[in-house]
Structures are given as structure tokens and as C-alpha cells.
């Protein structure tokens, strides 16, 4: 299994790389034009804090998300880029959300604890995305209805109190993700 991690400036990139099994290549978001995506079995879009997803700095990544045929997992900023690629609006929170947060999975009564560190939120998603989990700040998990694309607003690579860690492990342990 060959994984390409697109590094959007995440401070957790080392943890993410350590958790990924198989061959892993990490490439900065602004060097995507030098990579043959067809060589990889799956993509992980990391978090980041340099620019918001609404900036034009991620145009190559947005194009990749729209056209990819391989499984994609977007984390934090990667989640926001997935939402932006399919027409959802990004909103700025009044202050940075950082720490453990409870989220509610769609159609389930129980909550899971996840580690958050972000300043932006998505309140509504547009088709073909569907919301799978929410918190008091907005949507926390999205899935594409027909493509193997999932995004999480939190950081599943951080194990501390993190029920979202299972999502990352499932993505990394499966040859396909639907």
C-alpha cells in the first residue's frame, strides 16, 4: 500500500507518518505538480495553519480532490478543503477550538471524544457530501456519497482521549475506503 500525505503545514505530520503503514511519501501542498498521483493507493490531506482553506494557495489540492479516483482522508484543513472543493462555505470561529471535544455521530445517541485544533468550521455541506457527525461548532465528519472520500475536522492522529483514532486506523488498514 502506497500512501501520499499532502502536508498542509501540520504540526502533527510526524505522528501521522508514524501511524501510516506501507510506503509513505510526504509532499508539501505547493509541490503537488511534481508528483504522479497515479503511483499511490490513497491520499491523506493533513491539517495546517499557515493559510485558511478559503485562500487560493490550495488550488492544486482542490483540483486533486475533485478529480481523484483513489481514497482520500482529509484531516482538519484537509477536511475544510474537501468541503470547499464541493461547494461548502467555511466560517471563522470567534476563537480557536483546541482540546478534547464531544461529537455526536449521525443517527446514534452516543458521543465520542476527539482532539480539535482549528479556527474554522463548516455549518452545512453541499451534495455530494453528507454530514456524518456534528459538534456544537459545526460538522465534524463528512463523506462523499459516491467516491471514497472522507474528511474529519478533528485530529485522529492524536490519541489523547480520541475516539476518532479508529477512523484513521480503519482508513490505514483497508485497501479501499467507502
157 a catalytic residue: yes
From the candidates 61, 76, 116, 144, give the one annotated as an active-site residue.
76
39 three-class SS: helix
CA neighbor of 139 nearest in space, from 128, 125, 150:
125
Place of cell 490531506: 45
Largest Cα separation within the chain, whole Å, is: 45
Q: Is 57 exposed, middle or buried (0-12, 13-18, 19+ CB in 10 A)?
A: middle
DSSP H/E element including 169: helix 165-173
The verdict on whether omega for the bond into residue 149 sits within 30 degrees of 0, i.e. cis, is no
From the candidates 97, 116, 144, 155, give the one annotated as an active-site residue.
155
Q: Using CA of residue 37, residue 70, residue 105, residue 110, what is the dihedral sign?
A: negative
83 a catalytic residue: no
From the candidates 80, 97, 140, 157, give the one annotated as an active-site residue.
157
Report how far residue 104's alpha carbon sits from residue 22's, in angstroms, rounded to the nearest whole number. Answer: 32
155 a catalytic residue: yes
Q: Are strands 129-135 and 91-105 parallel, antiparallel or unpaired?
A: antiparallel
Catalytic residues: 76, 155, 157
Amino acid at each position: 500500500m502506497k500512501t501520499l500525505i499532502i502536508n498542509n503545514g501540520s504540526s502533527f505530520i510526524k505522528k501521522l507518518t508514524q501511524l501510516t503503514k506501507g510506503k509513505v511519501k510526504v509532499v508539501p501542498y505547493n509541490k503537488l505538480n511534481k508528483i504522479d498521483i497515479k503511483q499511490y493507493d490513497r491520499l491523506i490531506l493533513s491539517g495546517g495553519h499557515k493559510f485558511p482553506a478559503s485562500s487560493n494557495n490550495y488550488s492544486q489540492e482542490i483540483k486533486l480532490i475533485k478529480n481523484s479516483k483513489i481514497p482520500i482522508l482529509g484531516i482538519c484543513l484537509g477536511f475544510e478543503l474537501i468541503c470547499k472543493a464541493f461547494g461548502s462555505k467555511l466560517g471563522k470561529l470567534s476563537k480557536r477550538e483546541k482540546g478534547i471535544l464531544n461529537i455526536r455521530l449521525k443517527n446514534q445517541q452516543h458521543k465520542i471524544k476527539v482532539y480539535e485544533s482549528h479556527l474554522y468550521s463548516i455549518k452545512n455541506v453541499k451534495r455530494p457530501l453528507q454530514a456524518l457527525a456534528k459538534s456544537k461548532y459545526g460538522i465534524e465528519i463528512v463523506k462523499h456519497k459516491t467516491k471514497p472520500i472522507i474528511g474529519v475536522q478533528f485530529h485522529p492522529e492524536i490519541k489523547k482521549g480520541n475516539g476518532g483514532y479508529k477512523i484513521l486506523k480503519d482508513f490505514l488498514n483497508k485497501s479501499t475506503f467507502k
